[in-house]
Amino acid sequence: MSSSNPLRDAADRRLPRIAGPSGLVIFGVTGDLSRKKLMPAVYDLANRGLLPPGFSLIGFARREWQDEDFAQEVHDSVKEHARTPFREEVWQQLIQGMRFVQGTFDDDNAFEQLKKTIEELDKAQGTGGNFAFYLSVPPKFFPSVVQQLKKHGLADQKEGSWRRAVIEKPFGHNLQSAQDLNKVVHEVFPPHEVFRIDHYLGKETVQNILALRFANTLFEPIWNRSYVDHVQITMAEDIGIGGRAGYYDGIGAARDVIQNHLLQLLALTAMEEPASFDADALVAEKTKVLGAVKLPKDLGKETVRAQYAAGWQGGEKAVGYLQEDGIDPKSKTDTYAAVKLEIDNRRWAGVPFYLRTGKRLGRRVTEIAVVFQRAPHSPFDHTATEELGQNAIVIRVQPDEGITMRFGSKVPGTSMEIRDVSMDFAYGESFTESSPEAYERLILDVLLGDSNLFPRLEEVETSWRILDPIEEYWDAHGKPAQYEAGTWGPVEADEMLARDGRSWRRP
Ligand SMILES: NC(=O)c1ccc[n+]([C@@H]2O[C@H](COP(=O)([O-])OP(=O)(O)OC[C@H]3O[C@@H](n4cnc5c(N)ncnc54)[C@H](OP(=O)(O)O)[C@@H]3O)[C@@H](O)[C@H]2O)c1
């Protein structure tokens, strides 16, 4: 779909994109995501002048709160987590449109109350009937909330206004469940009004992959099998599962991170140049490259799953996964997953893409490392280059956003000795503007109806097609390997790369 607003398409893209009359309903507003990310993002957007004057925010949850209690909760979360400074005048304007609706998801009266509240805000705040419903709730409730919206006429698309659904991840836990969920959602909302969140796509550094590749001439000529040896995509967390046992156990690292974030990073790194940056063109290229992903022949050797065992992290003792509160001591859930994928097309044939993610690893870092082949011939003698690694371009997605290029350079002195050096671009040093939070960008895009940064169903389905056979193999074969908390994962993952004559980066 191209943007729903052709006039905006023609507009100068440097002008601020300001949402038109609209409101946001957050289901699960008392949850962790809402408090840490969504409510602060709404305030930051307001503070940057990107929301319309009558913007309205409705919280829906079970607590017996009044509007004032909800406003106080938003206030506290903004003070604690917002990116931009607190300004009383912005806050005073924002609370004019803040309302709370109390109820559970099966409570018809609560949805009727929500309907009344929206109608009242349309009149009082001029929201024009335009509302986005953000489902920040446990995934098992996605279908019931969507069906309640339909039952109470809240999803009706009226002439001249819109109703949108924003659905958090995970979108299903395998291909079949993703398709089932989609069926329910599309019976209620038209496809272009459904926004599936993969918050990685809202990150500046992830969008910058496209800028790096397609706004420059330097990189694209070498971005292929003739020059690239392999690609490593890593998302490492240093924390354990915290209080999220209920969510995590049975899901695991591969479903939680590889199916969405890492395969999206692979798609952006490997896809062909889209004809334009319209959502349709982007999705077509991402889906095409994901569709060309080839699973390893030997899933036993070329995938690894593991669980963290007790260890030390940041000077503190960490318990193993099976000893965490709320975890079944016989759980086979993966807290670490690594897979080797190839892409069956002319650009990438024979180039492995190694993807890994894990909890309780050495450091919190997300990066894409494009590692280049060694020079085909070296005029230097072996001792000159024995410490020289392979050239690499590393896109650092978080935490210290930027790009590093690694190449060999002569060590100062009278002998010829060549060693790795790096050249660094850091966002913080090159730009005075700080990067908006991913959720700021994504909420604004929802209100603008701009779906470029939201995975479409085709991509979600294709990603499950990649992961499902791996999960099925793991279910049928043995137990997860183990790794000590605070290390860089299981020895089996090191062996997987060693068999290819390679090793994981230690970021
Ligand atoms: N947290 C993250 O960083 C993160 C990251 C990525 C994706 N997500 C996704 O975002 C969504 C929300 O995550 P979360 O971490 O915020 O979850 P959470 O802390 O468990 O919050 C869930 C919310 O749903 C509400 N809720 C649960 N059952 C309900 C019911 N029967 N009726 C009414 N309300 C009910 C809870 O209200 P009560 O307060 O009344 O229990 C709470 O507001 C999930 O889909 C998750 O997968 C979260």
Residues 261, 377, 382, 477: which is the catalytic one?
Answer: 261
Nearest ligand 1 atom to the CA of 35 is 16
> Ligand 1: does its nearest atom lie under 6 Å from the Cβ of 106?
no
How does residue 2 score in pLDDT terms, banded at 50, 70 and 90? very low
| Ligand 1 close to Cβ of residue 28 (< 6 A) | yes
The verdict on whether residue 199 carries a ligand-binding annotation is: yes
Q: Is 36 annotated as a binding residue?
A: no
CB of 482 closer than 8 Å to CB of 307 = yes
Asked whether 441 lines ligand 1 (CB < 6 A), one says no
256 known member of a binding site = yes
Mutate-to-test residue for ligand 1 from 133, 136, 261, highest number of ligand atoms within 8 A of CB: 136
The pLDDT of residue 8 is 47
| pLDDT for residue 432 | 84
Greatest alpha-carbon pair distance for the chain in Å reads: 83
What percent of the chain is modeled with pLDDT above 70? 97
Is the CB of 442 within 6 Å of ligand 1?
no
Q: In this predicted structure, what is the pLDDT of residue 1? A: 40
Is residue 352 pLDDT above 70, yes or no?
Answer: yes
pLDDT the model gives residue 434: 84
Annotated binding-site residue? 330: no
Nearest CA to ligand 1 atom 47: 169
Cβ neighbours of 108 (radius 10 Å)? 11
Q: In whole angstroms, what is the distance from residue 223 CA to residue 154 CA?
A: 48
Mean pLDDT of the chain: 94
Given a contact cutoff of 8 angstroms between Cβ atoms, the answer to whether 137 and 169 are in contact is: no
How many A from CA of 263 to the centre of ligand 1?
A: 24
Q: Which comes out higher in pLDDT, residue 364 or 4?
A: 364
Instruction: Please report the pLDDT score of residue 3 as a whole number.
Output: 45
Q: What is the pLDDT of residues 74-83, one digit of tens each?
A: 999 999 999 9
Which runs of E-coded beta strand occur in 50-102?
56-61, 98-102
In this predicted model, what pLDDT tens digit does every residue of 154-197 receive, in sequence order? 999 999 999 999 999 999 999 999 999 999 999 999 999 999 99
pLDDT tier at 72 (50, 70, 90 boundaries)?
very high
Query: How far apart are the CA of 133 and the centre of ligand 1, in A?
Result: 14
* pLDDT level of residue 13 (50, 70, 90 thresholds): low
Token output for 201: 């796509």
173 included as an active-site residue? no
Q: Is the pLDDT of residue 382 over 90?
A: no
Query: What structural domains and CATH numbers belong to the chain?
Result: 10-168 (3.40.50.720), 201-498 (3.30.360.10)
Overall average pLDDT of the 200-213 stretch: 93
Distance from the alpha carbon of residue 431 to the mean position of ligand 1, in angstroms: 35
pLDDT of 336 strictly over 80: yes
Residue 6: pLDDT over 80 = no
The band of 14, judged by pLDDT with boundaries at 50, 70 and 90, is low
What is the mean pLDDT of the segment spanning 405-429? 93
**Is any ligand 1 atom within 6 A of the Cβ of residue 243?**
no
Both structure tokens of 367: 């990066």
pLDDT at 435: 85
Identify the pLDDT of residue 70: 96
Reading the block at residue 456, the tokens are 């479409």
pLDDT band at residue 16, thresholds of 50, 70 and 90?
confident
Whether residue 172 has its Cβ less than 6 Å from ligand 1: no
pLDDT category at 245 given cuts 50, 70, 90 is: confident
Residue nearest to atom 20 of ligand 1 (CA): 31
Report the distance separating Cα 24 and Cα 97, nearest Å.
10
Query: What residues pair up with 358 in beta bridges, in sequence order?
Result: 236, 336
Q: What pLDDT, on the 0 to 100 scale, is given for residue 433? A: 83
Give the pLDDT confidence of 294-309 residue by residue, as tens digits.
999 999 999 999 999 9
Res 468 pLDDT > 80:
yes
CA of 166 to the centre of ligand 1 (A): 14
Q: Please tell me whether the overall predicted TM-score, pTM, comes out greater than 0.75 for this model.
A: yes
Rounded-to-integer distance, Cα 246 and Cα 252, Å: 11
Give the Cα separation of 28 and 61 in Å (integer): 6
Tokens describing residue 370: 């494009």
Residue 242 confidence (pLDDT): 85
105 lines ligand 1 (CB under 6 A): yes
Q: Is the CB of 313 under 6 A from ligand 1?
A: no
For residue 426 the two structure tokens come to 């850091």
Question: How far away, in angstroms, is 344 Cα from ligand 1 center?
Answer: 39
The pLDDT tens digits of the residues spanning 85-134 come to 999 999 999 999 999 999 999 999 999 999 999 999 999 999 999 999 99
Distances (CA, A) of 326 to 248, 473, 475: 10, 26, 21
* Closest CA relative to residue 259, chosen from 402, 474, 469: 469
Ligand 1: distance of its center to the CA of 391 in Å? 43
